[in-house]
Each structure stands twice: as structure tokens, then as C-alpha cells.
């Protein structure tokens, strides 16, 4: 749990226990502890943000403040105080079971930046949508070695989490509000921080989530890779992702009919290729080659200004084939699954000759 949540919880429990201590001066019970409760509650809501797990604790705190101002004894006071202590423990337990996690520490020598991009492929029709003439479009996110400035802020773990959290909760058979607290989760990456200038260049990797996944699901891995000098592009495959949210507010949940069931492997693979690999291909065949010469355009989305230079077609075929063989693995640029760490980093280096973004 977050520090002010814990402080408020234990303070509420202590305040309730003081009513069972007749020798404690009434000044503490009626003035000092209630004032501290109010200040800590306001600080928690203002600085950390309120979440549903704290409702029992907030009820307990408010009730304790009210009771502290009642001088006379009343029937049921002891039972109410016991219930308020129970409420406080319920909130502490809920906060422990549904925490606001800190970002997983990155170990590389670089700071990390991130930027979300909206990709529209005019050469492909959206075969899963209701409009047969609409182009294929999807969201992607880039994580890269960055040089953040003093005013740059950490990004949210997941953009548009207020829409995605209910969808993820439903997938996990939880109430829609159960994961609302994830709005407070911050990433290591700095939002839209400048790309680090480095003459050695940065290899480019593609992260492609699995069925009903989302581009941020392996954020601890992609941020770690970016901290070691990789540019990682995560694709949110529209209709294959749990939810896709476009900048104009349109929401597209997963289409459960996009991939067939109870069919031969070759039929399933064809449907999967249509949904996933074509999204990857636009990066391999167009966007990444366009930005090899001008990395700022990759980060800043100035699609039309970059030049096609320094691209070797053999590298293009190699990286595309390598990704195509492993789209269901955590990293599309690796030919086999392995945990993050030096083995994975070394394997990625040996797998292919990746694209290099030179800054």
C-alpha cells in the first residue's frame, strides 16, 4: 500500500482504540487525533488519490471524528468502535490484495522515454469493422533511450486506463471497478521525452501481444530493453487486443470472431496472420525504413518527412521473417521464448541484424 494509505489506516485503528483507554486525556481523543485524521485523509486524497479500496477506511475515519465530538456515552458505542476497527482492517487488506504497484526497476544505463502513436494503413481495408471502406488503423507505443529534462513527467503505465481497466477486469471475471486503481500506476518511462543522441544507434524491436492482450502488458520487459539501448515498438492489434482506444475517443473491444476455433492449424494461422502480422509488416516494410535516417521522425510521428536511406533489403527480410516465426512469443524479434535478463538480451543480439536507429 501507499504510505499515506497505511498511515491513515493505522491512525484510524489507534484512534478507535483510544476510546477504550479511560486514562488517556480527552484532549487527545476529541481534538488532537481527530485533527490528525482530517489532515492525513486530505493529504491522502490530494497527493495519492482516492480509490475504492479505501471506502471502509474513509467511513471509519469520518465516523471516528463524529464520535470524538460527542461527549456523552450512548448505547452501542463499543460495538460501533469495534466495527470501525474492522472497517480499517478491511481497507488495509483490500489495499494489499489490490495494490498500486511501483514500476519494476530498470537496470540499464539509459533513461527511458515513451510516446503513443496512431497508425493508419491506407493500403489495407479494415475487414473486422462495420465500415468495409475504412482503412486499417491501430495504436502503437514506442519505448526508447531518452534524455528527459527536468520538466518531463513519468508516463502512466497504460494510456486510457479508465477505459481499459473495466475491460481487463471483465476478462479476469472481476467487477468492472476492481482495477480502477491502476490509473495511479506510473511507468519508468518519461512521457514524450527527447530521444537520446547517440552515434552508435539503437536496434529496433517489435513487441506483439497475444490474443486479448495489449501493448503495455509486458511493460517491465520493454522498459528494461529500452534502458539497455533498444527502441521497442509495441503494437495494439485492433480487434485482437482486449481494447483499443483511439485519440478521438473511439473504443474497439476484442472481436471474438476474428480468430476461428476448432479449425486446423493452417486455417488458424492464416487468420492470425491477417490480424497480427500485417500490422507488424507496416513497420518492417514502411515505417522503420522511413525513419532509419531520421530517428526524430520515428519518435515525433512526422511520417512524410523522413527519407528511405541506409536500408539493406536482406536485413529487412531477416527481421520480418524472424518476427513472423514468433508472433505469439513475448518478443517478436526473438525466435524462442526466454526470461528477460542477460540470456534474452544476448539472444536478441544474436538472432538477427536488427534495424538501427541512429541519433
300 part of a folded domain = yes
Q: Are residues 91 and 115 in the same domain?
A: no
Q: Are residues 172 and 294 in the same domain?
A: yes
349 part of a folded domain = yes
Q: Look at residue 127 in the predicted model and tell me its pLDDT.
A: 87
Task: pLDDT band for 26, please (50, 70, 90 cuts).
Answer: confident
3-state secondary structure the chain: CCHHHHHHHHHHHHHHHHCCCCCCCHHHHHHHHHHHHHHHHHHHHHHHCCCHHHHHHHHHHHHHHHHHCCCCCCCCHHHHHHHHHHHHHHHHHHHHHCCCCCCCCCCCCCEEEEEEEEEEEEEEECCCCCCCCCEEEEEEEEEEEECCCCCCCEEECCCCHHHHHHHHHHHCCCCCCCCHHHHHCEEEEEECCCECCCCCCEEEEEEECCCCCCCCCCHHHHHHHHHCCCEEEEEECCCCCCEEECCCCCEEECCCCCCCCCCCHHHHHHHHHHHHHHHHHHHHHHHHHHHCCCHHHHHHCCHHHCCCCCCCHHHHHHHHHHHHCCCCCCCCCCCCCCCCCHHHHHHHHHHCCCCEECC
Residue with more model confidence, 301 or 6:
6
Task: pLDDT band for 62, please (50, 70, 90 cuts).
Answer: very high
| Average pLDDT of span 221-230 | 92
Q: Are residues 212 and 308 in the same domain?
A: yes
Residue with more model confidence, 49 or 23:
49
pLDDT at 82 over 60: yes
Q: Choose one of 72, 97, 122: the last residue of a domain.
A: 97
106 part of a folded domain = no
Q: Are residues 318 and 240 in the same domain?
A: yes
118 part of a folded domain = yes
Q: Look at residue 285 in the predicted model and tell me its pLDDT.
A: 64
Q: Are residues 213 and 142 in the same domain?
A: yes
**pTM: predicted TM-score of the whole model, two decimal places:** 0.78
103 part of a folded domain = no
pLDDT at 236 over 70: yes
* Burial grade of 39 (CB within 10 A; 0-12, 13-18, 19 or more): exposed
253 part of a folded domain = yes
Residue-wise pLDDT for 250-286, tens only, equals 999 999 888 888 899 898 888 888 888 888 877 766 5
pLDDT at 49 over 80: yes
Q: Look at residue 73 in the predicted model and tell me its pLDDT.
A: 74
Of the given ranges (191-200, 247-256, 325-334), which has the lowest mean pLDDT? 325-334
336 part of a folded domain = yes
| Range of the structural domain that residue 334 is part of | 111-357
End-to-end CA distance of the chain: 40
Q: Look at residue 277 in the predicted model and tell me its pLDDT.
A: 80
Residue-wise pLDDT for 114-147, tens only, equals 999 898 888 888 888 888 789 999 999 999 999 9
Q: Are residues 81 and 118 in the same domain?
A: no
Q: Choose one of 97, 119, 135: the last residue of a domain.
A: 97
Q: Are residues 131 and 75 in the same domain?
A: no
Q: Are residues 48 and 10 in the same domain?
A: yes
Q: Are residues 165 and 241 in the same domain?
A: yes
pLDDT at 227 over 60: yes
Mean pLDDT of the chain: 80
pLDDT at 310 over 80: no
Domain count for the chain, please give it. Answer: 2
Q: Are residues 255 and 308 in the same domain?
A: yes
Q: Choose one of 97, 120, 141: the last residue of a domain.
A: 97
Q: Which of 3-7, 276-280, 332-336, 347-351 has the highest mean pLDDT?
A: 3-7
**Nine-digit cell string for 135:** 482503412
Q: Are residues 258 and 160 in the same domain?
A: yes
pLDDT at 293 over 80: no
Residue with more model confidence, 78 or 280:
78
102 part of a folded domain = no
Q: Are residues 139 and 242 in the same domain?
A: yes
Amino acid at each position: 500500500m501507499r504510505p499515506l494509505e497505511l498511515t491513515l489506516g493505522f491512525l484510524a485503528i489507534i484512534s478507535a482504540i483510544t476510546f477504550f483507554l479511560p486514562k488517556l486525556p480527552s484532549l487527545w481523543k476529541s481534538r488532537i487525533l481527530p485533527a490528525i485524521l482530517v489532515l492525513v485523509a486530505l493529504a491522502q486524497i490530494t497527493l495519492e488519490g482516492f480509490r475504492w479500496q479505501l471506502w471502509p477506511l474513509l467511513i471509519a475515519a469520518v465516523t471516528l471524528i463524529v464520535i470524538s465530538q460527542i461527549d456523552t456515552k450512548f448505547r452501542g458505542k463499543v460495538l460501533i468502535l469495534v466495527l470501525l476497527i474492522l472497517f480499517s482492517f478491511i481497507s488495509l487488506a483490500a489495499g494489499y490484495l489490490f495494490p498500486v504497484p511501483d514500476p519494476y526497476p530498470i537496470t540499464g544505463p539509459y533513461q527511458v522515454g515513451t510516446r503513443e502513436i496512431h497508425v493508419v494503413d491506407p493500403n489495407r481495408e479494415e475487414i473486422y469493422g462495420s465500415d468495409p471502406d475504412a482503412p486499417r488503423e491501430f495504436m502503437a507505443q514506442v519505448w526508447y533511450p531518452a534524455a528527459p529534462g527536468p520538466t518531463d513527467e513519468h508516463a502512466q503505465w497504460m494510456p486510457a486506463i479508465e477505459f481499459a481497466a473495466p475491460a481487463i477486469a471483465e476478462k479476469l471475471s472481476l467487477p468492472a471497478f476492481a482495477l480502477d486503481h491502476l490509473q495511479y500506476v506510473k511507468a519508468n518511462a518519461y512521457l514524450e521525452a527527447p530521444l537520446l543522441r547517440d552515434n552508435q544507434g539503437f536496434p529496433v524491436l517489435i513487441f506483439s501481444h497475444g490474443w486479448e492482450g495489449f501493448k503495455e502488458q509486458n511493460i517491465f520487459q520493454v522498459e528494461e530493453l529500452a534502458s539497455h539501448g533498444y527502441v521497442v515498438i509495441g503494437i495494439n492489434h485492433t480487434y485482437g487486443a482486449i481494447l483499443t482506444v483511439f485519440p478521438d475517443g473511439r473504443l474497439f473491444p476484442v472481436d471474438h470472431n476474428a480468430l476461428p476455433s476448432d479449425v486446423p492449424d493452417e486455417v488458424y494461422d492464416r487468420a492470425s496472420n491477417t490480424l497480427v502480422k500485417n500490422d507488424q509488416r507496416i513497420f518492417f516494410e514502411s515505417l522503420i525504413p522511413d525513419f532509419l535516417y531520421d530517428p526524430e521522425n520515428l519518435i515525433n510521428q512526422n511520417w512524410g518527412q523522413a527519407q528511405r536511406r541506409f536500408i539493406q533489403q536482406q536485413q529487412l527480410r531477416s527481421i520480418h521473417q524472424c518476427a513472423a516465426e514468433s508472433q505469439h512469443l513475448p518478443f517478436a524479434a526473438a525466435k524462442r521464448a526466454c526470461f528477460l535478463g542477460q540470456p534474452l538480451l544476448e539472444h536478441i543480439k544474436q538472432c538477427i541484424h536488427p534495424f538501427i536507429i541512429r541519433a
